[in-house]
């Protein structure tokens, strides 16, 4: 699947599946959204109490289990961790704060573009700006250091945790919260959502599709492989939305979105910058977490904590626009990223690059 056809196919499947999920009950332009769905699951567990966004999203469980199973089958399941874990936790946290300012992760940004939501153009511009900021630090030697091999159990726990979530979804004990109104109440039937997630998990694991990697690699290496997937999602989501009549071109009255251009830009700039520093977008982090990368598990937990804070402290934007607290949180997020990016530049990175010398031997 490591071919241009493979990644275009994957983008097409995601674009179309996302529209089908909307057709079967997910909120419009939210067929799949990693940030929103981690937030909903966090809420279902009662870690935040925003009543409109609480539901254990089977798409997330499906993506994790699909990626886990295929990585085991392809002998790519490899348990590693130890590359700046708490920094990654904080980066996940900040990416979530940015995503909830914009109202969507990079994948939902692409799906919103495919639904005609022009507010996402400000998001896209911010996303690209954030990626460029990240590239500047990468070029100057930014690194979160190496990972190390860990025990198998360490890697099996995250997929197992998702099986546990699925049991909680099916049994719906009284301590789990499910929205009765708002975006959290809009969801496709469990079987369909789980199946869609499994398909996406398998395809993305095979093709390494990543929303942030597309723009990053195109700028950094003039490599267009990943961006083809990015474009393919927009094209096929647009076609699907037109077919089912969900397509709505414009700025005003878009589903689960606000029209504040500046904060859409800044929210996604924060998410883009944080994602470059992490090495991948929220979707990619979820896939890596499923294939044994414990640092990505920590990142997902950071996103979950970010979502809990975002709703407990009114940081998340709403259809009415950004909240004052949210604006402050985004600005703090930028300061935090600047600190993380600056202090993780390896001063000798450039100096050690010499012919005949082993680079990065430790």
Partner 1 sequence: MAQIDTRGMSCPQPVLMTKKALEVNSTEVTVLVDSKTAKSNVERYLNLTGYTIDTTQLDGETNTFEIFAKKK
- How many Cα atoms are found within 13 Å in the side-chain-facing hemisphere of 18? 33
Task: Tell me the window of 174-182, 194-202, 207-215, 256-264 that interacts with partner 1 (CB under 8 A).
Answer: 207-215
Q: What is the dihedral of CA 60, 252, 132, 16, to 10 degrees?
A: 40
Task: Tell me the window of 42-50, 116-124, 211-219, 303-311 that interacts with partner 1 (CB under 8 A).
Answer: 211-219
Please identify, using beta-carbon distances, which residue of 216 and 327 lies nearer to partner 1: 216
- How many Cα atoms are found within 13 Å in the side-chain-facing hemisphere of 290? 31
Among 46, 73, 76, 167, binds partner 1 (CB under 8 A): 76
In three-state secondary structure terms, 45 is coil
Minimum distance of partner 1 from residue 1's CB (angstroms) = 10
Please identify, using beta-carbon distances, which residue of 80 and 187 lies nearer to partner 1: 80
Nearby residues of 359 by Cβ (< 8 Å), 6 or more positions away: 352, 353
**Contact flag: residue 80 with partner 1 (CB under 8 A):** yes
**Contact flag: residue 245 with partner 1 (CB under 8 A):** no
Minimum distance of partner 1 from residue 271's CB (angstroms) = 17
DSSP bridge pairs for 121: none
Minimum distance of partner 1 from residue 18's CB (angstroms) = 24
DSSP bridge pairs for 81: 148
In three-state secondary structure terms, 75 is coil
* Ranges within 291-310 binding partner 1 (CB under 8 A): 295
**Contact flag: residue 163 with partner 1 (CB under 8 A):** no
Nearby residues of 233 by Cβ (< 8 Å), 6 or more positions away: 11, 12, 14, 15, 18, 107, 110, 111, 114
**Contact flag: residue 221 with partner 1 (CB under 8 A):** yes
Please identify, using beta-carbon distances, which residue of 49 and 350 lies nearer to partner 1: 350
Task: Tell me the window of 16-24, 109-117, 173-181, 347-355 that interacts with partner 1 (CB under 8 A).
Answer: 347-355
Please identify, using beta-carbon distances, which residue of 143 and 318 lies nearer to partner 1: 143
Among 168, 185, 220, 235, binds partner 1 (CB under 8 A): 220
Among 208, 258, 311, 327, binds partner 1 (CB under 8 A): 208
Minimum distance of partner 1 from residue 146's CB (angstroms) = 3
Q: Could you give the CA distance from residue 63 to residue 29 in angstroms, rounded to a whole number?
A: 18
Q: Could you give the CA distance from residue 227 to residue 211 in angstroms, rounded to a whole number?
A: 8
Q: What is the per-residue binding string for partner 1 in 124-153, x denoting contact by CB under 8 A? A: --------------xx---xxxxxx-----
The first and second tokens of residue 76, run together, are 């790519």
Q: Could you give the CA distance from residue 185 to residue 27 in angstroms, rounded to a whole number?
A: 9
Minimum distance of partner 1 from residue 102's CB (angstroms) = 23
Task: Tell me the window of 56-64, 77-85, 159-167, 196-204 that interacts with partner 1 (CB under 8 A).
Answer: 77-85
Among 41, 42, 83, 119, binds partner 1 (CB under 8 A): 83
* Ranges within 3-62 binding partner 1 (CB under 8 A): none
Q: Could you give the CA distance from residue 330 to residue 333 in angstroms, rounded to a whole number?
A: 5
Among 75, 171, 175, 343, binds partner 1 (CB under 8 A): 75
Nearby residues of 53 by Cβ (< 8 Å), 6 or more positions away: 36, 39, 40, 43, 179, 182, 183, 184, 311
Distances (CA, A) of 319 to 8, 102, 259, 260: 32, 10, 8, 10
Please say whether the beta carbons of 337 and 323 come within 8 A.
Answer: no
* Residues near partner 1 (CB under 8 A): 2, 75-76, 78, 80, 83, 138-139, 143-148, 208, 210, 213, 216-217, 220-223, 225, 278-280, 295, 349-350, 353-361
């Amino acid at each position: 699947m490591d071919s241009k056809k493979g990644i275009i196919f994957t983008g097409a499947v995601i674009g179309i599946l996302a529209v089908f999920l909307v057709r079967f009950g997910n909120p419009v332009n939210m067929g799949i959204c990693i940030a929103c769905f981690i937030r909903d699951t966090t809420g279902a567990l009662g870690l935040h109490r925003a009543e409109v966004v609480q539901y254990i999203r089977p798409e997330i469980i499906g993506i994790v289990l699909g990626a886990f199973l295929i990585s085991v089958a392809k002998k790519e399941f490899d348990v590693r961790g130890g590359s700046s874990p708490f920094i990654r936790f904080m980066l996940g946290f900040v990416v979530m704060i940015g995503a909830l300012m914009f109202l969507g992760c990079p994948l939902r940004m692409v799906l919103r573009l495919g639904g005609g939501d022009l507010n996402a153009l400000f998001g896209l511009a911010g996303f690209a700006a954030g990626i460029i900021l990240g590239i500047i630090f990468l070029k100057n030697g930014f690194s979160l250091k190496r990972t190390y091999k860990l025990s198998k159990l360490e890697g099996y726990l995250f997929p197992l945790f998702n099986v546990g979530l699925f049991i909680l979804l099916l049994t719906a004990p009284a301590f789990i919260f499910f929205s009765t109104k708002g975006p959290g109440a809009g969801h496709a039937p469990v079987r369909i959502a789980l199946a869609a997630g499994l398909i996406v998990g398998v395809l993305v694991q095979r093709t390494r599709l990543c929303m942030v990697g597309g723009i990053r690699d195109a700028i950094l290496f003039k490599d267009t492989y990943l961006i083809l997937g990015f474009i393919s999602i927009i094209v096929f989501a647009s076609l699907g939305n037109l077919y089912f009549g969900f397509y709505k071109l414009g700025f005003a009255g878009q589903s689960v979105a606000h029209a504040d251009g500046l904060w859409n830009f800044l929210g996604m700039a924060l998410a883009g910058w944080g994602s470059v520093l992490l090495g991948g977008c929220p979707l990619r982090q979820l896939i890596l977490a499923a294939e044994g990368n414990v640092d990505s598990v920590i990142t997902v937990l950071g996103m979950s904590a970010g979502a809990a804070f975002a709703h407990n402290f009114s940081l998340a934007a709403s259809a009415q626009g950004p909240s004052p607290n949210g604006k402050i949180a985004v600005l703090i997020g930028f300061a935090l990223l600047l600190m993380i990016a600056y202090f993780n530049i390896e001063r000798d990175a450039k100096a050690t690059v010499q012919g005949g010398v082993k680079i990065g031997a430790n």
